[in-house]
Structure 1
Amino acid sequence: MARRETALQTAHGRLRELIGREFRSGDKLPNERELADRLEVSRATVREVLGQLAAEGMVTRTWGIGTFVHDGAERVPVSIGDVTALRDRITASGHRPTLQDAAVSRAKCPADCAKLFGLQPESEVWRVDRLFAVDGVAAAWIRDHLPLRFDGRDLDPSGLVSIDLDMFEFLATATGMPVRRAEIDLAAVLADEEATARLGVAAGHPLITGTQIGYGAGGAPLFHGHITVRTDVLTLRISRGEMAPQSVR
């Protein structure tokens, strides 16, 4: 395993060097077979390295068309090291956040969400679906689930259809308990049909997706959500320090 990881790292570095030396933004790369011959590695290794470079935002891959050097458009860095609204992180980077679409509805709770909240499978919960844009470009699609009631209080998240109210502000007011900790598991994926429709990207476009859970005092779960991010628009940054990494919302 260690030998394979070393080989991948070597191929990764050599391909990055090749792209930087011979190609410019917007150029189409040779196919996997040609790259494998030039790097003297297998096509499977090239495919895996290209997937890594796509997740890093260096290239974009479109199924049936090819792999292209990223066009160099500015990406907005947002930290996932603090429990801070995504809206505020985008603003702090000097860009304009907006909601291109937002909806609040009652829906059946997914199985993992029901387990978190201690509900029966398919119990009714609030679903908050929001599409964030950066300078008018769709950048992050967030779908959260919240219980209908918390500690005897009815929750009404209808205000979250406005950019002026973020999830953390809403929960602090509605439950009397601010989010103290958020955990997020991230994965690199390629855009499926639903993500294509929501984010306006081609099928197979590289994306980052995450499952996020927010907790209040004493570890009480407050929300369960999924976030899908266009890495060609937003750059996710983790800052390590004495505190455990938390998340952005």
Structure 2
Amino acid sequence: MRPTALPDVITASLRERIGVEWSTGDQLPSEAELAAEYAVSRHTMRASLLALQRAGLVETRHGSGTFVTRYNSSIRAGLQELRSLHDLIAQQGHRPGASYRLRRRRVVTPSEAELLERSAVSEVFEIEREITSDGRTVAFDYSVVAADAIPADAEVTGSLFEQYAKVNALPDRAVARVRAVLEPSVGWGAGRHPDGLYLLLDQVQYLPGGRPLSHSRIYFLDEGFEFLLVRS
């Protein structure tokens, strides 16, 4: 498994403290004070604070310091972040969950073969799952993954990134489109939106070197998940 970079570890720790030690409007300790507390360089701490800022959790006011922005129980993600939803939910202090409705290997369709740059006889691993935070539905995931990224004997549960790591096939970038959709057929059970209104993240993930890994259509419920685009 790829080791977690130190700034990411510190960012996760700071995320957990926001909303517990520091509430909306509170000022965080200075960069120097936090660097001393975590026994890291100011450069490392600056990278961690910048990640929080990009996610919209804090804002830096020049000459004043870093302050906690509006914070609530919804899950937040910066549009520029490529992360496991499971880890993202956990690092914001919530309990992640995934309930799979479909897990199967099958031959690719012609459009999937073209999109994933695989042969017409290759296989994909198709999934449909409900993603939850503290037991509340936040998204429905419809994905196809190149079968070589999922071990043949894998019992797929929880995070897909954990499965990728087992075969050293972690994606390093994604190309995504985000748009509001009205699709009554999406979702199942009590967690689905009654009118089929979702925010769709339609993305292709790529391996280092540029080969496509997966195509995902993730339908987010707006009351449980927020995407942030912080402009400066």
TM-score by length of 2: 0.59
Aligned twin of 2:160: 167
- Identity within the alignment, %: 22
Q: Distance in 2 between matches of 1:182 and 1:239?
A: 19
Aligned twin of 1:187: 179
Does the 8 Å contact 2:102/2:128 carry over to 1? Answer: yes
Question: 1:178 offset after TM fit, Å?
Answer: 2.5
Is the counterpart of residue 207 in structure 1 residue 203 in structure 2?
A: no
Does the 8 Å contact 1:104/1:157 carry over to 2? Answer: no
Q: Distance in 1 between matches of 2:107 and 2:155?
A: 21
Name which one, 1 or 2, has greater alpha-carbon Rg. Answer: 1
Amino acid at match of 2:173: R
Question: 1:102 offset after TM fit, Å?
Answer: 4.7
Q: Distance in 1 between matches of 2:153 and 2:202?
A: 20
Is the counterpart of residue 232 in structure 1 residue 228 in structure 2?
A: no
Aligned twin of 1:55: none
Amino acid at match of 2:151: L
Q: Distance in 1 between matches of 2:224 and 2:153?
A: 27
Aligned twin of 2:5: none
SS of the residue 2:217 aligns to: strand
Aligned twin of 1:104: 103
Does the 8 Å contact 1:78/1:90 carry over to 2? Answer: no
Q: Distance in 2 between matches of 1:224 and 1:149?
A: 14
Amino acid at match of 1:75: S
Q: Distance in 2 between matches of 1:122 and 1:138?
A: 35
Q: Distance in 1 between matches of 2:165 and 2:189?
A: 32
Structure 1's 130 and 180: CA in aligned 2 closer, same or farther, altered over 3 A?
Answer: same
Aligned twin of 1:223: 214
Give the superposed CA RMSD.
Answer: 2.8
Structure 1's 234 and 99: CA in aligned 2 closer, same or farther, altered over 3 A?
Answer: same
Instruction: Within 5 Å, give how 1:120-135 maps onto structure 2.
Output: 124-135=123-134
Answer 1 or 2: which has greater helix percent: 1
Deviations 1:64-91 (A, max 9, x none): xxxxxxxxx9422233322211111112
Unaligned 5+ runs, structure 1? 1-72, 242-249
TM-score by length of 1: 0.55
Amino acid at match of 1:237: L
Is the counterpart of residue 156 in structure 1 residue 152 in structure 2?
A: yes
Identify which of structures 1 and 2 has the higher relative contact order when contacts are C-alpha pairs closer than 8 Å and 6+ apart.
Answer: 1
Aligned positions, number: 161
Unaligned 5+ runs, structure 2? 1-71
Instruction: Within 5 Å, give how 1:23-42 maps onto structure 2.
Output: none
Structure 1's 195 and 121: CA in aligned 2 closer, same or farther, altered over 3 A?
Answer: farther
